[in-house]
Amino acid sequence: MIRRRFLSGAGAAVAGSLAGCNWSLREGLLNACLAAMPSDLAHHPLVEVAWRDIDPSQFWDVHCHLFGNGDSGRGLFANKAITDPTLPQEYVRRLFFLNAGCAHDSPGKVDASVVDRLANQLEAFPPGAKVMLLAFDWARDAQGRPDTEGSAFYVPDAYAASVAAANPARFEWIASVHPSDPAAEDRLDAAKALGARAVKWLPQAQRIDPGSPRCDAFYRKLVALELPLLTHAGDEQAVRSVDEGLGNPLRLRRALDRGVRVIVAHCASLGEGRDLDRGETGPTIPNFSLFARLMDVPAYRGLLFADISALTQANRMDVLPLVLERDDWHARLLDGSDYPLPGILPLVSLDGLASRGLLDPTAIAPLRAIRGHNALLFDFVLKRSVAHRGRRFAPRIFATRPHFATAS
């Protein structure tokens, strides 16, 4: 069981760095992890309206994390820094993730309970709806060797593939291959053969420079295999970063110019980066502005996409209305939850969204009730409920399956 007393005493003090949010605790601290929703909540008008004009068979949540501590014996790894109670910030960060995923913090139960909870939550979704499970490669040194001390966690491709294969009605999977691995191209072939739909990077945590010429062979392979690259851009605040500059959106030009289909996680909505178009000493401006510049390049319209995961979090509320208003982007936006983050209660301020006119106040109570039972459904219904000046996320954003059809 999650150590509630420890969390209550230390959580608010040290866990704010998890996503840079204002931890007012108005939403509470811990996920209640309730069982299946009662029928009246499962069929609440807010839920019914959310599915309007959406074909569940086309709904693939493109950003869903697998995690654990390796107790299944299937290769997962969690850095000792996040399991050591003498390092309170990292330790509490781990406990929030476990609570968000309603994982059993007991020997031999963590890895399996993360998957079980995901499958249970998907029972509230119509048949055909799926999540795309993310593998996560090691941080690696210049020779491509795994850096276990520098890696926050590791989720093998083989593990993600096996979890997806065991429940194909609800799970797809996305590989994670570091371009510095000497076996990277062979690993991409193997991932494709096992049904991977894309490749996931978190550059500043995995020590990947997307703008390096060393990635060119990797990019050629992605194009040949028709595998999109789902990559974080903007600042990273959920796991330890080795170099925030690696998350600069402009570093993705190299992949785009070589024909890679790139999906930018979170619309690069946090932090600031150098305007590399004006040189390595260019001015520092919001990463979102750099991302928007790329989105507006005509040559990238068939290559550059973004997911909307985490855009409803409190630390991204300034960007959310800007994305809602860019309806010219909506055909290039893909829904993702960034699960388990929707289950970390203080990250999403429903009152804050309402106070900014982004959410009808009457939606707050049912959304809170839904989250206590089902963080995945909460994330979907919330995204279908937010609006700015009458503009909402278009239904096409939630029809993500076609973006991965050529990766089958």
Between CA 195 and CA 140 the distance in angstroms is 25
* pTM flag (> 0.75): yes
Between CA 328 and CA 395 the distance in angstroms is 14
For residue 388, which of 360, 367, 352 has the smallest C-alpha distance? 360
Tell me what pLDDT residue 105 has.
66
Between CA 199 and CA 177 the distance in angstroms is 7
Assess contact for 185 and 219: CB atoms under 8 A.
no
Phi, psi for residue 386 in degrees, rounded to 5 = -70, 150
The count of other CB atoms within 10 Å of the CB of residue 149 is 9
The ranges of the chain with pLDDT < 70 are 1-25, 83, 105, 406-408
Assess contact for 67 and 133: CB atoms under 8 A.
no
Tell me what pLDDT residue 182 has.
98
Q: What Cα–Cα distance (Å) separates residue 118 from each residue in 14, 30, 158, 233, 366? A: 27, 18, 18, 26, 21
Instruction: Dump the DSSP string for 89-104.
Output: HHHHHHHHHHHHTT--
pLDDT digits (tens, 9 = 90+) for 252-304: 999 999 999 999 999 999 999 999 999 999 999 999 999 999 999 999 999 99
The count of other CB atoms within 10 Å of the CB of residue 22 is 12
For residue 394, which of 353, 342, 338, 334 has the smallest C-alpha distance? 334
Q: What Cα–Cα distance (Å) separates residue 223 from each residue in 214, 333, 348? A: 16, 20, 37
Sequence ranges of the domains in the chain: 4-407
Tell me what pLDDT residue 25 has.
66
pLDDT digits (tens, 9 = 90+) for 188-240: 999 999 999 999 999 999 999 999 999 999 999 999 999 999 999 999 977 77
Give the CATH fold of the 4-407 domain.
TIM Barrel (3.20.20)
Tell me what pLDDT residue 6 has.
44
